[in-house]
């Protein structure tokens, strides 16, 4: 990923990723402080990192040992550049190792909640002397919980560093060289299991690094609109509009930038939910009038998916076919050499392995890993630097209605990745009906997103679901219906809570609600005789099954 919109938002914080499962979460937590942040691979040369002029750098955790064969390193000259640096877990150990401290394997792995004792606390009333490392724990309780996940530990801080905190198993749980503005914590301040973690990160960002909280919904919109204007110039573009929040926000940004030089194209690929093509066409057709086009391409998508079992292959087929449809529509409109605007988001890029060296390929999102190598349209992605909650905030800033902004996410490949194994018209029909039951019952019970309530507002709160849907795993089992033996499909119900989709927990739905869902599905959906409920979180699973 190239440089982000820092000229619009001011300060930039870079997270150097060493393979931690929480690396993306660090970036999110920094952004929650309204400071723009990006992940960069540990392979990024120091000269390129410095050229981006970061206000601060955070070194992430990771599964390696600093003494391990092939352990990830970084140029130690970084620590002499005058840039404020915070090392987290492995990042702290690496800092200690490279600067002359003592790092050793612990007698036992420290994992989970641990009591942190702040040994060098801030002065009363926040009066921190200049150059005092205790600023990191300003207004933090002397004894507080933190989340640990490590095998190695720092036994002795490097020369010039002072110890700020400890735990029962880690004598150096935090250290600092305030003169060089180098800080390290053995625990993970980015996770919710560290209650004071947000404050600690804020202390580093604002009191150590001097960052300014300029990453706001207004600046997000400004950055996106400017990117569209700069890339499209005086040309024309089409925007891929699925009806979901990402594409709707991208369309709104592009419309603000281009006006009548933009056409919204909705492609029905035959993999949508029950009645969705009609709903999208009606909703956006009324809003956009003649600049909205609906294309029925369901036949060609289903033909290409015939017999395909592998989920990665499904995603790539859908991604490529989408592009071909958009190219054909562009030619019909005379947009030779035009542009395609799509709602790619930051998690799409990261999970698809689109930021080299930052993360493994979890799944190739159709709009990233599924893109063909040759395209006749220039690609414009104004949301490429945003997390999902930031997309929603930008949507509200753009004046989009709440029912669009708070709509539950729906994957671009649609029901094809909620059917495990080959996709057929019969399976699609079964899954559509079952999914409609899940949606209706959950929303009737008041747990759904149909009301458009934002988290933290009346009608939302902890019970509001991030996603809820049905899955057809392709498993059939024996049942008894009407005193006769059946051998039919199983439907799995999936419902999760989340802030941004990066992590998720399975929803504790009331048993009577699950009973109603199961009873309706079995009694009204043909070829189904069993319903199960998915009780796994992300990680270790993903929200979607494929």
Per-residue model confidence (pLDDT) at position 337:
72
Catalytic residue among 38, 190, 222, 327: 190
Q: Could you tell me if 81 and 184 lie in one domain?
A: yes
Does the residue 137 lie in any domain? yes
Residues composing the chain: 546
Q: Could you tell me if 366 and 490 lie in one domain?
A: no
How many angstroms separate the CA atoms of 428 and 418, rounded? 9
Does the residue 48 lie in any domain? yes
Q: Could you tell me if 280 and 399 lie in one domain?
A: yes
Per-residue model confidence (pLDDT) at position 353:
53
How many angstroms separate the CA atoms of 355 and 508, rounded? 35
Given 377, 405, 433, the domain boundary residue is: 405
Does the residue 546 lie in any domain? no
Per-residue model confidence (pLDDT) at position 110:
58
Per-residue model confidence (pLDDT) at position 454:
37
Mean pLDDT of the chain: 86
How many angstroms separate the CA atoms of 322 and 268, rounded? 10
Q: Could you tell me if 99 and 179 lie in one domain?
A: yes
Q: Could you tell me if 89 and 236 lie in one domain?
A: no
Does the residue 195 lie in any domain? yes
pLDDT tens readout for residues 247-259? 999 999 999 999 9
Q: Could you tell me if 258 and 331 lie in one domain?
A: yes
Q: Could you tell me if 245 and 333 lie in one domain?
A: yes
Q: Is 120 exposed, middle or buried (0-12, 13-18, 19+ CB in 10 A)?
A: middle
Does the residue 316 lie in any domain? yes
Q: Could you tell me if 30 and 117 lie in one domain?
A: yes
Given 174, 190, 208, the domain boundary residue is: 208
Per-residue model confidence (pLDDT) at position 122:
45
Given 208, 233, 265, the domain boundary residue is: 208
Q: Are strands 484-497 and 467-471 parallel, antiparallel or unpaired?
A: antiparallel
Residue 321: give its domain's CATH number: 3.40.50.620
Angle at 10 between CA 9 and CA 15, to 5 degrees: 90
How many angstroms separate the CA atoms of 67 and 153, rounded? 12
Per-residue model confidence (pLDDT) at position 371:
58
Q: Are strands 12-17 and 56-59 parallel, antiparallel or unpaired?
A: parallel
Does the residue 484 lie in any domain? yes
Q: Is 188 a catalytic residue?
A: yes
Nearest to 223 by CA among 443, 6, 30: 6
Q: Using only C-alpha atoms, what is the Rg of the chain?
A: 25
Does the residue 541 lie in any domain? no
| Cα maximum dimension of the chain | 81
Does the residue 288 lie in any domain? yes
Q: Could you tell me if 186 and 221 lie in one domain?
A: no
Catalytic residue among 38, 150, 188, 381: 188
Starting at the edge strand found earlier in the chain, the sheet holding 12-17 runs: 36-41, 12-17, 56-59, 85-88, 182-185, 174-177, 162-166, 102-118, 143-156
Distances (CA, A) of 59 to 10, 69, 72, 242, 503: 21, 20, 11, 37, 21
User: In this structure, are residues 92 and 105 in contact, taking their beta carbons and an 8 Å threshold?
Assistant: no
For the chain, percent of residues with pLDDT exceeding 70: 86
How many angstroms separate the CA atoms of 508 and 345, rounded? 28
Q: Could you tell me if 163 and 16 lie in one domain?
A: yes
Q: In this structure, what are the phi and psi dihedrals at residue 198, rounded to the nearest 5 degrees?
A: -60, -40
Per-residue pLDDT band for 9 (boundaries 50, 70, 90) equals low
Catalytic residue among 32, 37, 38, 89: 89
Q: Is 494 exposed, middle or buried (0-12, 13-18, 19+ CB in 10 A)?
A: buried
Instruction: Give the domain range for residue 505.
Output: 418-533
Q: Could you tell me if 124 and 61 lie in one domain?
A: yes
Residue 179: give its domain's CATH number: 3.40.50.880
Per-residue model confidence (pLDDT) at position 490:
97
The model's pTM is 0.79
Q: Could you tell me if 90 and 49 lie in one domain?
A: yes
How many angstroms separate the CA atoms of 303 and 371, rounded? 19
How many angstroms separate the CA atoms of 241 and 235, rounded? 19
Structure tokens of 77?
């000259």
Q: Please count the structural domains in the chain.
A: 3
Per-residue pLDDT band for 126 (boundaries 50, 70, 90) equals very low
């Amino acid at each position: 990923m190239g440089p982000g919109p820092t000229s619009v938002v001011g300060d930039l914080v870079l997270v150097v990723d060493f393979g931690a499962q929480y690396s993306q979460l660090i970036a999110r937590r920094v952004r929650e402080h309204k400071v723009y942040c990006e992940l960069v691979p540990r392979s990024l040369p120091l000269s390129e990192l410095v050229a981006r002029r970061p206000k601060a750098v955070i070194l992430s955790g990771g599964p390696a040992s600093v003494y391990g064969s092939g352990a990830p390193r970084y140029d130690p000259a970084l620590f002499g550049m005058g840039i404020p640096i915070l090392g987290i877990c492995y990042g702290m150990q690496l800092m200690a190792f490279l600067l002359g401290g003592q790092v050793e394997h612990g007698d036992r792995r420290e994992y989970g909640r641990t009591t942190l004792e702040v040994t060098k606390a801030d002065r009363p009333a926040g009066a921190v002397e200049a150059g005092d490392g205790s600023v990191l724990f300003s207004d933090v309780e002397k004894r507080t919980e933190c989340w640990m996940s490590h095998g190695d530990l720092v036994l002795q801080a490097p020369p010039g560093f002072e110890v700020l905190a400890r735990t029962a198993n880690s004598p150096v749980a935090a250290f600092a060289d305030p003169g060089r503005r180098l800080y390290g914590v053995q625990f993970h301040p980015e996770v919710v299991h560290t209650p004071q973690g947000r404050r600690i990160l804020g202390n580093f960002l604002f009191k150590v690094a001097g960052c300014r909280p300029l990453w706001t919904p207004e600046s997000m919109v400004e950055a996106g609109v400017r990117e569209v204007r700069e890339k499209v110039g005086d040309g024309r573009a089409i925007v891929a509009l699925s009806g979901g929040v990402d594409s709707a926000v991208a369309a709104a940004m592009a419309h603000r930038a281009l006006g009548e030089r933009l056409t919204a194209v909705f492609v029905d690929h035959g993999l949508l939910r029950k009645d969705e093509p009609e709903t999208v066409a009606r909703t956006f057709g009324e809003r956009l009038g003649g600049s909205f086009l609906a294309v029925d391409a369901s036949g060609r998508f289903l033909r290409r998916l015939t017999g395909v079992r592998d989920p990665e292959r499904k995603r790539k087929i859908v991604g490529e076919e989408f592009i071909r449809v958009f190219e054909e529509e562009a030619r019909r409109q005379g947009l030779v050499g035009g542009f395609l605007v799509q709602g790619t988001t930051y998690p799409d890029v990261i999970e698809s392995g689109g930021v080299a060296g930052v993360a493994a390929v979890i799944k190739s999102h159709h709009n990233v890993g599924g893109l063909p190598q040759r395209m006749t349209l220039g690609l414009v992605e104004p949301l490429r630097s945003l997390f999902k909650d930031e997309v929603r905030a930008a949507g509200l800033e753009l004046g989009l209605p709440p029912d669009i902004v708070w709509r539950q996410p729906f994957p671009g490949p649609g029901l094809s990745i909620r059917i495990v194994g080959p996709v057929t018209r019969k399976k699609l029909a079964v899954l559509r009906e079952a999914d409609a039951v899940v949606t209706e019952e959950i929303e009737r019970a008041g747990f759904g997103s149909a009301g458009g309530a934002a988290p933290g507002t009346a009608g939302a709160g902890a019970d509001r679901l991030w996603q809820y849907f049905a899955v057809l795993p392709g498993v059939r089992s024996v049942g008894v219906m009407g005193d006769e033996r059946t051998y039919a499909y199983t439907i799995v119900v999936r419902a999760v809570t989340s802030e941004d989709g990066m992590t998720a927990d399975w929803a504790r739905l009331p048993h009577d609600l699950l009973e109603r869902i199961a009873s309706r599905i079995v009694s009204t959906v043909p070829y189904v005789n069993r319903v199960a409920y998915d009780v796994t979180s992300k990680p270790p699973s993903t929200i979607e099954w494929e």
